[in-house]
Structure 1
Amino acid sequence: MEGGDEQVMSEVHLGCPPHSSAPHISVFTFTAPPTAFQPNVAWDGDHHATCESSALNQCDVGDHVCVEDASRQLNFDKDGDLVLSRRRRNHNKRCLNYRVTIQHNITSSLPLVGLQVWKAALVLVDFVLHKSFMSSDFVDMIAVELGAGTGLLGILLARVLRAIFVTDTGTEVLDNCAINVQINAGALKYCESSVLVRELDWKESWPPKIGASDVEAQQRNSSKYSWSASEVDEAEGASLLFAADVIYSDELTDAFFNIVEKLMSHGSEKVLYLALEKRYNFTLDDLDIVANGYQHFQSYLKDEQEYARLNGTFQPCFVGERINIDQIPQYIKEYERGKDLEIWKICYRKTPHSKSVL
């Protein structure tokens, strides 16, 4: 990408101090619905893990939500009167509050846009939160995130996945991502070692070059985001790929689909969930405001009807299905969706009329 000195700013950061040069800290909040699927643990409003128990009931304390143990000793005031907590109307259901802390830049050059949080990442976060709240589909699976940037999506997925490879390129972006993984591990109670920050340059071939040994990697800063042979095997065995806001340059889109094709051609069958924001520009060729980058993206995809018509002329291809985001609640409140955000489910069909199970 050219134009490395040009500064850009995500709409997500419009409320941040515009001239701050130091990394900025933003806190994104969301609430799990009372019917949310919760693997293994329940969480109170301060993110302390507690064992699942029928004795746990939710109560309101001011604006906060806490978990109360019904078997706890009763409390009395100084006059000997029983102190009762004000309960929700349906106290058998729990709304669980979460916070995730993200270090990011407020502006960046084009090659370092991964230092910011973008709206497409937030709508994809809403999607994976809804999927994880309403089902066990992602539980104990392995995933690879492409162009992870600040690591926000991978951090939230780590709550339910067995492992996730959070990938991007450039030491500055990867260092910032690794910091975010570290500072949220205690609060969100995921195993930090299950989130692997790794460098993946889409313009290079897959599999990536195998790095130095663990001891050597600790001695050389440049090697700490390298892959091991076992990690490459594990990534090829992943069932899920994720990417957000990686469609804004035709050259980058070409490189993206090149690496996705290689990933999907190796190992297990995979599904890609991709979120994007259509960006419009006035062009002299069209004499109109058009989303050329979006059109280039769509040129890579076939729908199910086109795929069915291939018959004997079959060649491997990407089959895409647009997900209706109107049916996905907005859990993250710190952004406005607008009409130009989309999520796509994309499969790579290597054989005629094969179907994805996810």
Structure 2
Amino acid sequence: MEAGGGGGGGEEEQVMSEVHLGCPPHFSGLHVSRFSFSSRPLGTSGNNDGESSELVVATSTSSSGGSLDAFAVDEDGDLVLDRRKRRNKYVRNDHHLVTIQHRVTSSLKTVGLQVWKAALLLADFVLHKSFTSSDFDGVTAIEMGAGTGLVGLALARVARRIFVTDIGTDILDNCLANVHMNSGTLKFDIAKVCVRELDWKMSWPPPVGTHDPDSSQYLWSASEIEEAEKATVLFTADVIYSDELTDLFFDTVNKLMSSGAKKVLYLALEKRYNFSLDELDVVANGYAHFRSFFAAQDEHGDPIDSDGPSLMGKQINLAEVPQYIREYDRGKDLEMWKIMYFPDRKLH
């Protein structure tokens, strides 16, 4: 997701996702990383990849788009040579690759050009549901603040239609490139993935595009807005890091979830801690503000508070979400929530 707000003069501060620590540092162009998974979770019988891999396979591309040679490096930065492995003819080849073009570092405004751990967690959740149930088969869904589009790509394997949304031409162009790169290997029809701009400052519905050839290819048509309102599932990852952005996000969520079909939102985030001078303690910035937008549910699905926001959320036990994607370490600061809309409750 492109972060809101404008900066002053001077060079913008660069940030880096932990997911990209194995990539060559100080590269200003785009990289392509490949994330691997199979239909069996890591560590289960039949999956020999029980440990998270530190290997990042990447193809460097220049800022102008010129492709360089493909290479692989291990955790020490040493070159890894491909060796042909003998396959057991009785073992089904069940491994898949998701190819993601991204930046290694970015400004805060363009963090959507990187892959973040919460997106990998949410992709694991989508993969788990697709391998063990029919919950997402044939759904119409919306990914909000999609960034590189990783979650939407995982869902495109089984969904009927997925609207992959974010803001900013650079981020949307990169997201669309990822859709094209993965349609063949993940075996989904490009036509079912619709990359569109959704500016939370303008809330919902977004403006309708015109037939002007100079208008953005990421503008919505009236029929697409109508179709999106029939979506039953929303997904978002790692968009909680600014109170202002959280306000805009939940304003859009409330309007989306109150329009058309009944919807459920799956939200993943990573709690990031900083020392607060006001509280003289280490705190997760914006987390309490995020939690104020929905009432929590108990283990039976009943609201803990009798009155409050029209949104209710239940935290998902991550032990029930096996890890499928090898190339990341979840750590202890990831969370995932299932959030539902109840119109008879008071709006926040």
- Given the two structures, how large is their TM-score scaled by the length of structure 2? 0.81
- Paired with 2:93 and 2:133, the residues of 1 have a C-alpha distance of 16
Q: Which residue of 2 aligns with 1:151?
A: 149
Residue 189 of structure 2 aligns with an amino acid whose one-letter code is: C
Q: Which residue of 2 aligns with 1:179?
A: 177
Q: Which residue of 2 aligns with 1:118?
A: 116
Alpha-carbon offset, residue 351 of structure 1: 2.4
- Paired with 2:186 and 2:305, the residues of 1 have a C-alpha distance of 47
Q: Which residue of 2 aligns with 1:203?
A: 201
Q: Which residue of 2 aligns with 1:356?
A: none
Q: Is the 8 A contact 2:294 2:308 kept in 1?
A: no
Alpha-carbon offset, residue 315 of structure 1: 6.2
CA RMSD of aligned residues (A): 2.0
Residue 90 of structure 2 aligns with an amino acid whose one-letter code is: R
Q: Which residue of 2 aligns with 1:254?
A: 247
Alpha-carbon offset, residue 87 of structure 1: 2.4
- Paired with 1:112 and 1:287, the residues of 2 have a C-alpha distance of 30
More helix by share: 1
Q: Is the 8 A contact 2:293 2:309 kept in 1?
A: no
Secondary structure of the structure 2 residue equivalent to 1:167: strand
Query: Structure 1 195/14 Cα, relative in aligned 2: closer, same or farther at 3 Å?
Result: same
Alpha-carbon offset, residue 182 of structure 1: 0.7
- Paired with 2:232 and 2:133, the residues of 1 have a C-alpha distance of 16
Secondary structure of the structure 2 residue equivalent to 1:307: coil
Pairing partner for 1:307 from 293, 303, 306: 303
Residue 285 of structure 1 aligns with an amino acid whose one-letter code is: D
Q: Which residue of 1 aligns with 2:237?
A: 244
Q: Which residue of 1 aligns with 2:218?
A: 225
Q: Which moved more, 1:334-343 or 1:322-331?
A: 322-331
Secondary structure of the structure 1 residue equivalent to 2:95: strand
- Paired with 1:14 and 1:179, the residues of 2 have a C-alpha distance of 23
Alpha-carbon offset, residue 33 of structure 1: 2.3
1:103 aligns with 2:114: no
Query: Structure 1 21/351 Cα, relative in aligned 2: closer, same or farther at 3 Å?
Result: same
Secondary structure of the structure 2 residue equivalent to 1:257: helix
Residue 160 of structure 1 aligns with an amino acid whose one-letter code is: V
Alpha-carbon offset, residue 330 of structure 1: 1.0
1:289 aligns with 2:282: yes
Residue 294 of structure 2 aligns with an amino acid whose one-letter code is: L
Q: Which residue of 2 aligns with 1:19?
A: 26
Secondary structure of the structure 1 residue equivalent to 2:226: helix
The list of structure 1 runs, each at least 4 consecutive aligned residues, that deviate by more than 6 angstroms after superposition, is none
Q: Is the 8 A contact 1:316 1:348 kept in 2?
A: no
1:10 aligns with 2:6: no
1:166 aligns with 2:173: no
Residue 343 of structure 1 aligns with an amino acid whose one-letter code is: M
Q: Is the 8 A contact 1:3 1:110 kept in 2?
A: no
Identical counterparts, % of pairs: 60
For structure 1, the residue ranges without an aligned partner over 5 or more in a row are 36-61, 66-84, 89-93, 354-358
Q: Which moved more, 1:265-274 or 1:316-325?
A: 316-325
- Paired with 2:261 and 2:308, the residues of 1 have a C-alpha distance of 19
Secondary structure of the structure 1 residue equivalent to 2:303: helix
- Paired with 2:135 and 2:271, the residues of 1 have a C-alpha distance of 28
- Given the two structures, how large is their TM-score scaled by the length of structure 1? 0.78
Q: Which residue of 2 aligns with 1:277?
A: 270
For structure 2, the residue ranges without an aligned partner over 5 or more in a row are 45-83
Secondary structure of the structure 2 residue equivalent to 1:223: coil
**Bigger radius of gyration among the two:** 1
Secondary structure of the structure 1 residue equivalent to 2:185: helix
Q: Is the 8 A contact 2:294 2:309 kept in 1?
A: no
- Paired with 2:305 and 2:147, the residues of 1 have a C-alpha distance of 38
Residue 95 of structure 2 aligns with an amino acid whose one-letter code is: N
Residue 168 of structure 2 aligns with an amino acid whose one-letter code is: G
Q: Which moved more, 1:177-186 or 1:314-323?
A: 314-323
Secondary structure of the structure 2 residue equivalent to 1:256: helix
